[in-house]
């Protein structure tokens, strides 16, 4: 199990460092090289950058690399869950990009946190990562794509 992430201002990268996992666990999507083809299951950790007009909400173009990554090869089928980083000050747009990806690819959001995460966010994500690596299956109901449950193993 890999952890694929994207970071613009460095907050998600800081969170990644705090996980203390081996370097080869991580794959970073960059603006210059978004079309990485994965060969193993992974969790995607993505920040959100969105905008809204009176008629629509959408992720900003700065997030295109993540969408390009997910559209590459069979990446979408290997993505076991999305972890969302955002900022609650964005209110209704909180973790919007992650929600957009989740809806587009029908992949559950397994966890969300703000900025570079607290100590408990780090512990929670390590636990999620371990359980998915050990073969836990996500139980996802059709009407509940956002708050999912990890099956006890």
Where on the chain is the footprint of ligand FMN (CB under 6 A)?
7-13, 47-50, 85-87, 90, 93-96, 115
The answer to whether 141 and 74 are in contact (CB under 8 A) is no
Q: Which residues contact 23 (CB under 8 A, 6 or more apart)?
A: none
Compute the least distance from the CB of residue 12 to ligand FMN, in Å: 3
Compute the least distance from the CB of residue 90 to ligand FMN, in Å: 4
> What are the backbone dihedrals phi and psi of residue 55, each rounded to the nearest 5 degrees, phi first?
-105, -20
Q: Which of 63, 62, 147 is nearest to 112 (CA)?
A: 147
Residue number with CB closer to ligand FMN (11 or 75): 11
DSSP state of 118: -
Residue number with CB closer to ligand FMN (87 or 133): 87
Compute the least distance from the CB of residue 53 to ligand FMN, in Å: 13
């Amino acid at each position: 199990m890999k952890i694929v992430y994207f970071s613009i201002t460095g907050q998600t990268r800081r969170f990644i460092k705090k996980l203390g996992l081996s370097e080869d666990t991580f794959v970073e999507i960059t603006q210059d090289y978004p079309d990485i083809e994965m060969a193993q299951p992974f969790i995607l950790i993505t920040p959100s950058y969105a905008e809204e007009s009176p008629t629509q909400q959408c992720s900003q173009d700065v997030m295109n690399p993540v969408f390009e990554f997910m559209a590459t090869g069979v990446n979408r089928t290997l993505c076991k869950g999305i972890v969302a980083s955002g900022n609650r000050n964005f209110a209704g747009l909180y973790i919007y990009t992650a929600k957009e990806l989740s809806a587009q690819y029908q992949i559950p959001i397994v966890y969300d946190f703000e900025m570079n995460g607290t100590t408990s966010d780090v512990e929670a994500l390590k636990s999620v990562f371990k359980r998915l690596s050990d073969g836990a299956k996500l139980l996802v109901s059709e009407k509940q794509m956002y708050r999912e449950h990890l099956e006890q193993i």
